[in-house]
């Protein structure tokens, strides 16, 4: 019994599935699949299939993202290998207003405020670097004194002091 117990504690499972477009039921290649608050993720193959390996038992939020599609989220309970039914994602239509392109004179100030609030102000946080800050949409509302930020793609955060690089989907920050 004592010899089998360590194997049961470190049991790992596999999650498989397929991502399809809601309009024509075609596969969606290159979609990002990950478990929120876990370090497990992958991308769909050309035929829309994916496999998440080495998943520990527990409850997770499965997230599917792809530029041009709405984000799909589903809570799943993992205690065995899971073959998910087809995941159907919808195209995201974005209505654009007239755009006047001009530099934001306060962008550097707003970015620094965002960086400090998002990453913190410790010595380790000072060593963090956002490698693609141009993806972050930052807005400061003077009347409510509220800083908001979001990104349509993953931002990449690197901390050489602690030896990590993570991709973070910044849906909403306030």
Q: Which pLDDT score is estimated for 10?
A: 61
CA distance 57 to 77: 8
Q: Which pLDDT score is estimated for 7?
A: 47
Question: What's the topology of domain 12-89?
Answer: Immunoglobulin-like (2.60.40)
Q: Which pLDDT score is estimated for 125?
A: 83
Query: Between vectors from CA 155 to CA 153 and to CA 157, what angle results, nearest 5°?
Result: 165
| Per-residue pLDDT tens listing for the chain (174 residues) | 445 545 445 679 999 999 999 999 999 999 999 998 888 899 999 999 999 999 999 999 999 999 889 999 999 999 999 999 999 999 887 666 676 677 778 888 999 999 999 998 888 888 889 999 988 999 998 899 999 999 888 899 998 888 888 888 888 899
CA distance 170 to 19: 22
Q: Is the pTM here over 0.75, yes or no? A: no
Q: Which pLDDT score is estimated for 121?
A: 84
Domains of the chain, residue spans: 12-89, 107-169
Structure token pair of residue 44: 């769909």
């Amino acid at each position: 019994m004592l010899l089998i117990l360590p194997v049961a504690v470190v049991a790992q499972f596999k999650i498989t599935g397929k991502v399809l477009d809601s309009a024509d039921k075609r596969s969606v290649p290159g979609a990002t699949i990950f478990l929120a608050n876990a370090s497990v993720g992958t991308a769909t193959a050309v035929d829309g299939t994916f496999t998440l390996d080495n998943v520990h038992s527990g409850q997770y939020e499965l997230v599917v993202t792809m530029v041009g599609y709405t984000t799909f989220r589903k809570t799943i309970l993992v205690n065995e290998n899971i073959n998910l039914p087809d995941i159907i994602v919808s195209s995201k239509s974005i209505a654009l207003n007239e755009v006047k392109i001009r530099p934001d004179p306060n962008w550097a100030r707003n970015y620094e405020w965002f960086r400090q609030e998002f990453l913190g102000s410790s010595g380790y946080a000072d060593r963090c670097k956002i490698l693609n800050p141009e993806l972050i949409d930052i807005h400061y509302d003077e009347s409510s004194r509220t800083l908001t930020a979001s990104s349509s793609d993953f931002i990449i955060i690197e901390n050489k002091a602690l030896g990590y690089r993570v991709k973070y989907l910044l849906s909403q920050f306030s």
